[in-house]
Amino acid sequence: MASDSSAQASGFKKLSESAIISDSEFDTDELSTHPEEIKSHPPIRRSSSLFSLKDELPRPDQKEYTAFIEDNRHFSLIRNLHMADFITLLNGFSGFYSIISCLRYTLTGKSHYVQRAHFFICLGLFFDFFDGRVARLRNKASLMGQELDSLADLISFGVSPATIAFAIGFQSTVDVLLLTFWVLCGLTRLARFNITAQVIPKDEHGKSKYFEGFPIPTNLAWVFFFAFLVYKDWIEDQIPLGYLFKDTAFEFHIISIGFALQGCAEISKSLRIPKP
């Protein structure tokens, strides 16, 4: 029994230490050669948001990791979330409600539902901005912040815009495949960011100098375009530019090519967008 307890404690220690190392914005060479820089710019967790903060937050310490892993109380997950995490969850809620609004539009044909879908995506953008501001105000980094932020962004700025596109008329088989490619590129881009954020060059504030590929919130440009189409009633059979290969199994809207191009821009490694 004693050996089992010792092994479990050792496992918790290794897991927490591993998590701390993975959150570091410095690699091992920097840790060994620039100790004075570490004191002035401690390692941090970086958000995947388009609105990353200029002044970064200190990363959680080892005690927080240990408490998070070993907390066996009821509702321990909720107890360990920070205020900024709940705001990030509101981003995810907004994206999901946008999807529900699209489904209601397809069931009823009432355009105010798709307009509501646009509104909730914009609301998600607000929460994506606001969660970072709250974290900055509290000067507290979250253990789950980056993961929650990425998943919420995928719903609000990946799945939701694609659902709107389908609801307003991009419904052929090839249209749907191009929309699927667009969403998967956004998913891949977010996953890559979580891996490569540590190695992207930083400025004097410790903030990454650029995005690799388009950030996923840039999909909002399509949301505004869809809103314009709904406003002009250029939807369903009235979508501008029409089809390619019309009345065949391979028909698709010409505009759908833009979804594939946007997806390629998101996963591009050579395309570097300076951070604001």
| Structural tokens at position 61 | 């310490």
How many contiguous H segments (helices) and E segments (strands) does the chain have? 12, 4
* CA dist., res. 9 & res. 117, Å (int): 48
Q: What is the pLDDT of residue 226?
A: 96
Residues in contact with 152: Cβ distance below 8 Å, sequence separation at least 6, in sequence order:
88, 89, 91, 92, 95, 124, 127, 128
3-state helix, strand, coil in the chain (%, to 5): 65, 5, 30
Q: What is the pLDDT of residue 45?
A: 43
List, for the chain, all residue ranges whose pLDDT scores fall below the cut of 70: 1-65, 67, 139-141, 204-207, 276
* CA dist., res. 90 & res. 75, Å (int): 19
* CA dist., res. 81 & res. 210, Å (int): 29
State phi, psi for 168 to the nearest 5 degrees: -90, 0
Residue 267, judged by CB atoms within 10 A of its CB (0-12, 13-18, 19+), counts as middle
* CA dist., res. 78 & res. 247, Å (int): 52
* CA dist., res. 52 & res. 133, Å (int): 9
| Structural tokens at position 27 | 């690699």
Q: What is the pLDDT of residue 19?
A: 40
Q: What is the pLDDT of residue 134?
A: 83
Q: What is the pLDDT of residue 245?
A: 95
Give residue-wise pLDDT tens across range 54-113. 445 556 666 666 767 777 777 777 777 788 889 999 999 999 999 999 999 999 999 999
Q: What is the pLDDT of residue 44?
A: 42
